[in-house]
Every structure is written in C-alpha cells, then in structure tokens.
Copies of this chain bind each other. A is one copy, B any other.
Amino acid sequence: MKRSAAGKAKGPSLKTVALAAGVSLTTVSNAYNKPEHVSDEVRDMIFAIAREQGYAGPDPAARSLRSRHSGAIGVLFTSQLSYAFSDPYCVELLTGLAEVAEENRISVVLIPLARRVVAPEEEVRRSVEAVRHAVIDGAVADGIDDGHPALQVLLSRGLPLIRSVDNSESHCVMIDEREAGRSVGEYLAGLGHRHVAVVVDHLHEPSSPDEAVEEDELFPYSRLRLAGIREGLAGHGRVTVVAARRNTAASGWVAADAALERADPPTAIVATSDVLALGALEALARRNVPAGAGGVSVVGFDDIPAAAPAGLTTVRQPIREKGRLMGRMLLDSSYTQRRMVLPTQLVTRTSTGPAN
C-alpha cells in the first residue's frame, strides 16, 4: 500500500476519481447526482474507486457555486442565539420552520443579528458580515425591524426573504398585532380596569424600568401591541408603560414590580409577551397579591406552552403554524401568496378578573 510521494499531495476530487476510473468528469458527477443517467456497473465502479481514494463526494462549496443553490435556508434572530433557545416563542417558531425544512430536505442555518438601533457599530458590522458570508438560498426573519442593514444585504443578494412584519415590499406571514392589542384593551376596559401597566420588551436595555420609554425603540411587535392596547382601552383607562430590560421572566418580574410599587398602582398588567407576563405573575406572587379576580389582572401575548399551566390570560397566535407557513412560503414554489395574516384569539384564563 505504498503511495508515490511525487507530485503535490492534493485531496481527491472528481478529476482524480474520473482519471482513475477512466471515465469523464461528468460521468462521475452524474454518478452522485443523477444516478439514473449512469449504468449500475459504471456507478458501482466509480463509487469503489472513490472509496479507495477517500473521496467523500462532490465538494459542497463548488457545487453551490456552480449550481447556484445550496440546500440551506437561514433564520435571522434579533438576539443572541444562546438567548433565542430560551425563548419559547422562538423555539416554537423554529420548530414549525424545521418541520418544513425537513420535508424539503433542506438544512437550517442559524444567524444571529445585532439589534440595530442601539447595538454598537461593531455589532452591526458583525451581523452584516454573518449574512454576507452565509451560504443560503433564502431566509426567514422574525420580528426584525425594517431597514436593518443585514436585511438589505440579503435583499441585494437577491435572496428571497420571508418576514413577520407588515411590509408591502417583502413576503410575510404575520398576525394583526394591533388588533391583538386592541382585543386586550377592550377586554380589560370591559372588566372595569381604569389603569393598566404595559410591560414592553425594549430594543435596548434601559438603565431602569422607570426611565421614560422611547416608543421608537420598541420592537415592531411591541409598539403595535401597545398601540392596540391603547386603542382598545379607548379613553376608558390610562396606560403606564414600563420597559423590561430583556424578554425574560426575570425582567418581566422587575418591570412589573416597579409598576406595582408606584403611588398609583395599576389594576391590570399587560405584558407584550407571555414570558414577561409570567414574570409579572411571579411579582404578584412574591407580594402575596392574588392574580386575577380580587387582585391584579395579568395578560400576556402569544400563548406559549407555559401559559396554560400558569392560568395566564393571553392572546393566542398559531406560532408553530406561522413557522411552517414561513417555511412553505420560502421553499414551496407553489405558494404564490405574498402575504398571509394569521388569526389571533384572546384566551381568558384565571389571571384576569374584574378590577378591584
């Protein structure tokens, strides 16, 4: 098994295999990609020689370059990957997307994005690079605000993009965020609530929950939900906005606690996500204030799996289905639809009741 050490020791390639097999480049390529175009004998012979040379099949990068597609799609996150996995909403969406990707035999590339508004220049540059370098055929971006430079790059690369916010320019799968908020406002107004605290998920991290909230800097969905809530309350009640530092139960706890601490505490707390709302429930529990009837009402959004066990009233949206649809819209060319609005539904549980 001695090997001649002459010549440069380059790895095996289609060429070396073709040479050894005495067939053309194309034939070897076909053996891998279009087995039906090559006779069984020749194909087996080629594979045997490939194995012998330690050739693992066509190089994916070269294939992608030449064929102009890669068999992978990207998922853009507004946050760190490491955080995304702890967000039930993200996980659920990703699950739906992954289902479709699997059906289509496509793999999924996770790409974290910096938060545009506040991220240090460096962060943004970094996420643009990530998108620039990603070998993908398209992407899904959830909850990323318009004009994030990374989206621009994606678009100018000519890649299809599916989003979850309303935008006439790109395809999207969305819910009517504002309407969802309104249903909550109306519901609370109907229960007699006159002062509602809204815990919002903030784009940047405010130094304290008391800091005035710049509504420009909210995530698109937070802004719309907040607007909807105000609309739904329609003058029946006033709103105090409290910012959470991050979309975690702990942050929700802190923010809700600050609201309850006020001289004029609210009779209801709405959080722009269930995770925050669960934190608010925690805040109430620690203060021995009951949630719902006879105490302070709490409402969330999304109806993540943990909401029901906690008795949390929330606005349900079909998260997993949303992920699936985004995937289909991206991968299934028979989907001609450009824009899809999914239904939402207020699910009342024990965390809400009439105002005290």
A105–B129 touching, CB < 8 Å: yes
Chain B residues lying within 8 Å of A81, measured Cβ to Cβ, are 95, 98-99, 101-102, 108
Q: Measured between C-beta atoms, what is the minimum distance from A147 to chain B in Å?
A: 15
Chain B residues lying within 8 Å of A86, measured Cβ to Cβ, are 91, 95
Q: Which of A132-140, A237-245, A339-347 contacts B (4 or more CB under 8 A)?
A: A132-140
Q: Does A61 contact B (CB under 8 A)?
A: yes
A 40-80 binary contact with B (CB < 8 Å = 1; else 0): 00000000000000111111111111000011101000001
B107–A110 touching, CB < 8 Å: yes
Q: How many copies of the chain does the oligomer comprise?
A: 2
Report if A63-B133 is in contact (Cβ < 8 Å); known contacts: A98-B80, A98-B82, A98-B85.
yes
Partner of A108, one of B70, B110, B158: B110
- Which range holds the interface residue count of chain A? 35 or more
Q: Does A334 contact B (CB under 8 A)?
A: no
Among A281-303, those with CB < 8 Å from B are: none
Among A72-126, those with CB < 8 Å from B are: 72, 74, 80-82, 84-86, 91, 94-96, 98-99, 101-102, 105, 107-112, 126
B94–A85 touching, CB < 8 Å: yes
Report if A108-B107 is in contact (Cβ < 8 Å); known contacts: A56-B156, A82-B102, A91-B91.
no
Q: Measured between C-beta atoms, what is the minimum distance from A256 to chain B in Å?
A: 21
Partner of A132, one of B57, B82, B134: B57
Partner of A60, one of B91, B105, B134: B134
Q: Does A338 contact B (CB under 8 A)?
A: no
Chain B residues lying within 8 Å of A112, measured Cβ to Cβ, are 98, 102, 107
Chain B residues lying within 8 Å of A56, measured Cβ to Cβ, are 132, 153, 156-158
Whole-angstrom CA separation of A251 from B54 in the bound complex: 42
A126–B105 touching, CB < 8 Å: yes
Q: Does A7 contact B (CB under 8 A)?
A: no
Known: A60-B133, A60-B135, A72-B134. 8 other contacts (CB 8 A): A55-B156, A60-B134, A61-B65, A64-B65, A72-B109, A80-B99, A85-B85, A109-B109
Q: List 25 A-B residue pairs with CB atoms under 8 Å apart, sorted by A's residue number.
A: A54-B156, A56-B153, A56-B157, A56-B158, A57-B132, A57-B153, A58-B132, A59-B65, A60-B134, A61-B64, A64-B64, A71-B133, A81-B98, A81-B102, A81-B108, A82-B95, A82-B96, A85-B94, A85-B98, A91-B91, A98-B110, A107-B109, A108-B110, A110-B110, A135-B135
